[in-house]
Structure 1
């Protein structure tokens, strides 16, 4: 057995260490809520591949440094700069990141994710595809991409499409932050553990293995019943979000009456403020991805993502929300009615030589 201890990667933005039989990944950008960079994704992909072949490692844990969250998503400021420069760094980053997501989903050992605090966008990709997914009372999970003129990616479209009823569509189009209980209900997480017990759980996982209890067995000793999800039993969600017409969804939301009226109106207001193009393409993505394996879903998201890189709304959304922070994006087109079916279909058209091929790439473990 190799000696336990730190394994220093090329970047200190993500740290690797073996503690007993547990390989520990710590995202280490706490000031940026551990936003994922290309270097971090590459280092994780390399280390996970090594650990998959290391008999001394029985399970892997991913966690975030600091108190604010696991990961607030991809480094969108870096993406913005790359778009302004007309570079290819973002396309290269996504290819590496999506390969990492696919590897996590097929990982041959228990992959435990502490989904504590903020878990947004890319943070979902490195956690919700794992085999042991843990949320807490502090979890705030979301796929808020439509707010910045983009669409859910990192396999998020597939996860959202599998959620009960139309709750995934609601989460995708509104970009709402969800609780740990909501994450369990939607299928993004498995277990609910109080945040104060995570350190003890991590210590217990160091000895987990086939001969003395699996990772699932260890987690079960710490888990509690999740509180009720605010999304459960909301019949108006299924009624309003059915179908493929974003404009009709808005009309239904605005016509809800009774006890759900305020919630439906708030959802309509949230969707109406998003990029019309992003809303329509996100809805089409969720409908198209149903029944796909994850690799194919990621390939579709890559194709759609590159088309957004070449458009105006993604750049404008980041500018308004993150760079200038004036929170007044000028979407092009400005209304859902101006985004035609042919415009949406163009986002899914083949890219030719730029296509991402994941069906075989991640099977090297």
Structure 2
């Protein structure tokens, strides 16, 4: 049991509250196991018609997974560390296939693992504090938790852009990109929760919930992603290889291309190549096949070097100066990247 996550039944709802506030509601292994077990129980409970997931406090919905624990554990036992991801990915799959409406209130920081427990549900409600990102290429990882499924399916290749750069998206961008389904202003957020949990849900549960969300929906304002959408589509779309993408950026003299190259120069070369391949493959896979693919990759990343160096530079020492290995894109072969995607034999992720 853990007191970092709370489960309640309120009216027709099962309510999940992440309450690991000191860690910005980041998910640890016990939280993931508890959440999956409770969701499975509610799935077969006829008195629960829908699920609501929220984060405690003002700052975060869920800032990701317990990166420090993963770093420390994987150094000694990468196979054991990877078991956290096995449980997390099984939970992501459960949410994706959940038989009842699933609503995530993503007002606050929503990154990494927090994306995995929100974006695959039916409704994602952004607020004025929403800050979405998948910043994994900056710590030697890749945008997992189903990123390989939902990000390639965002229009105009904005998903590939977010995946490689780790760019942040506030509420307006989340709406414009298709990450969020609704926006509610901060001063209406509490009233929205009250209305949702107090709403009598009929057999038309999905429609009942959408009616409440629409009643509280607002205009998040201008979406900066739309200012660069044409550039993203022009330079990111239709590239067969990561080298093709880099060549397109290097040949382009726009501010967008130059800014993007500066951002990518800070990321793990291995992570960027893995991420490009993940997006390419994931765009053609169903959800569970994508999760199996992502588990193969993360299992092998736990045995590598860049994850530990990325966490050291960004989270532990905070010198923001990682020494990637290999340090250049040219030093990484296609065979190097293919290795990460090879099947794991007896260690494969089994779903459901």
TM-score (norm 1): 0.91
Is 1:209 matched with 2:205?
A: no
Aligned to 1:6: none
The residue that corresponds to 2:99 in the other structure is 108
Report the equivalent of 1:5.
none
For 2:349, the equivalent position in structure 1 comes to 356
SS of corresponding position for 2:132: strand
Match of 2:320 in 1: 327
Is the partner of 1:35 in helix, strand or coil? coil
CA distance in 1, matches of 2:176, 2:62: 21
The separation in 2 between residues aligned to 1:330 and 1:222, in whole angstroms, is 47
* Secondary structure at 2:350 match in 1: coil
Checking the alignment, whether the CA contact within 8 Å between 2:78 and 2:302 is kept in structure 1 is: no
CA offset digits 1:117-136 (Å, max 9, x no partner): 11000000000001111111
1:163 to 154, 171, 175: 154
Shift of 1:81: 0.6
Q: Distance in 1 between matches of 2:234 and 2:274?
A: 20
Which of 231, 253, 259 lines up with 1:236 in the alignment? 231
Of 267-276 and 200-209, more deviation after overlay is shown by 200-209
2:35 is the counterpart of 1:44: yes
In the alignment, which residue of structure 1 is the partner of 2:79?
88
Cα deviations across residues 149-187 of structure 1 (Å, max 9, x unaligned)?
111100012111001122111111101111122222222
For the residue of structure 1 that corresponds to 2:325, the secondary structure is coil
- Of 180, 188, 191, 1:200 maps to 191
Offset from partner CA, 1:334-356 (integer Å, 9 cap, x none): 01111111111111111111110
Counterpart Cα distance in 2 of 1:252 and 1:311: 29
Runs of 4+ in 1 over 4 A off after TM superposition: none
> Using the alignment, how far apart are the partners of 2:306 and 2:78 within structure 1?
17
* Corresponding residue SS for 1:161: coil
Partner of 2:5: 14
Give the Cα–Cα distance (whole angstroms) in 1 for the partners of residues 187 and 181 of structure 2: 18
**Structure number having the greater helix percentage:** 2
Quote the Cα distance in structure 2 between the aligned partners of 1:100 and 1:160. Answer: 18
Residue 277, structure 1, aligned to residue 270, structure 2: yes
Can you list the C-alpha shifts for 1:255-302, whole angstroms capped at 9, x where unaligned? Answer: 433xxx333222111111100000011001100111311111111000
Report Cα offsets for 1:40-95 as digits up to 9, x if no partner.
Answer: 01000011111112222221110111111100101100000111222533221111
> What corresponds to 2:246 in structure 1?
250
Question: In structure 2, what is the Cα distance between the partners aligned to 1:357 and 1:97?
Answer: 12
- Whole-angstrom CA distance in 2 between matches of 1:59 and 1:290: 29
Displacement after TM superposition at 1:13 (Å)? 0.6
In structure 2, the residue corresponding to 1:113 is in which secondary structure?
strand
2:215 alignment counterpart: 221
Is 200-209 or 92-101 further displaced after alignment?
A: 200-209
Alignment of 1:296 onto 2:289: yes
Deviates more, 1:45-54 or 1:247-256: 247-256
* Matched-pair contact (CA < 8 Å) for 1:208–1:218: no
Contact 2:231 2:256 in 1 (8 A): no
SS at match of 1:347: helix
What's the C-alpha RMSD, in Å, of the aligned pairs?
Answer: 1.5
Distance 1:169 1:20 in 2: 40
| Partner residue of 2:337 out of 331, 340, 344 | 344
Q: C-alpha separation between the residues in 2 aligned to 1:25 and 1:128? A: 15
1:122 equivalent to 2:113? Answer: yes
Residue 314 (structure 1) aligned with residue 307 (structure 2): yes
List alignment gaps of at least 5 residues for structure 1. 1-9
Gaps of 5+ in 2: none
The DSSP-based 3-state class of the residue aligned with 2:155 is coil
Counting matched residue pairs gives 347
